[in-house]
Amino acid sequence: MNPTQQLHDLGQSIWLDNITRGILDDGTLARFIAEDNVTGLTSNPSIFDKAIAGGHNYDRAVADLLAQGQQGEELFFSLALQDLTCAADLFKPAFHHSDGVDGFVSLEVSPLLADDTHATIESAVALHAKARRDNLFIKIPGTPAGIPAIEESIYRGVPINVTLLFSREQYLAAAEAWMRGIERRIAEGKSPNVDSVASVFISRWDVAVADQVPAELKDKLGIAIGQRTYKAYCDLRATPRWKKIVAAGVHPQRLLWASTGTKDPKASDTLYVEALAAPDTINTIPDKTILAFADHGKLRGAMDRNGGDCEHVIARFNAAGIDDAALAGKLQRDGAAAFVKSWNDLLGRIAQKSSAVASQAAGQGARA
């Protein structure tokens, strides 16, 4: 049996951490769905930057949008939504088969709005309305400024992928925001079923401490943080408050593992996929890691709902001088800064592509 089928049978959704117009046009995404049990995907500015830079797949669409007077961020969101709505339609069978629990794609609000709660909310509402797809998440960072935007967006009925979470505490803040938004809807008699996932980043922990810890601790911190967060997730789902919300007919917010491609060339290329196998969760995985796991991955059972030996492992890192609480905050701040850089790079790419397409069109017009 394909290891991806085993993960699916365990109850974990496999999402692709990538999108390009190429994999839509050449059938690659459809094959991931048909052969590797992929039931959703995530995107980010870096993914779109690489996709747009990677050839001429977007040239005609850029030319059409330029002709409509679009540029910059507006043009990018139009391009991204063309791809993501197409992908969302491919995932509609998974969406319907799971009664709306699975089969989602994700689009990020502008990271330039990260410190503006009101603008983030308005952007989330507008982007979701423009997409006209029930199975499209809007991504909002789970930063201090993002938490109130997450609650309000949920309250307004926008499905939210909470991104940039690095710790149990950051996850719980995101879960609390989701619950508050849902409880407000219930109190006002509105439909309570607004979907959400909470994305916890894993491999960046190990990259951050790689040069600061002894060899026996390499590539162990991210998994331990994941185990600690999974225990908190399981514990929260058992609380009366959570159960009361779910009893109202709500799809529970699900925990999503992000940044699960192995960065250490000496480590297994399926390290994080195997370690983070757990029911009622999602793993969003890069293309090559999905293919590697399908080829030679080994499912070694589900994660321990009680966290396994995570506290012992984290204590060893503490003893080695790693302050996990301080590092979680730094990773989130660094991640937010990296998102801004990626966004500015993307807008530069859009400007470059727009200029090239416009020049080509002008040259063709002159020759005609």
User: Which DSSP string corresponds to 85-141?
Assistant: HHHHHHTHHHHHHTTTSS--EEEEPPGGGTT-HHHHHHHHHHHHHHHT-TTEEEEEE
CA nearest neighbour of 251 among 305, 200, 192: 192
What's the Cα-to-Cα distance from 100 to each of 193, 257, 350, rounded to whole Å?
10, 20, 34
Bin 352: left if φ > 0, else alpha if -120 < ψ < 50, else beta. alpha
**Contact between 203 and 265 (Cβ < 8 Å):** no
Based on the residue annotation, tell me whether 244 is a catalytic residue of this protein: no
Tokens of 164: 């940039």
**Could you tell me which residues are beta bridge partners of residue 200?**
165, 257
The Cα–Cα gap between 127 and 334 comes to 25
The Cα–Cα gap between 307 and 227 comes to 5
- Of 50, 92, 130, 139, the active-site residue reads 139
Residues annotated as part of the active site: 139
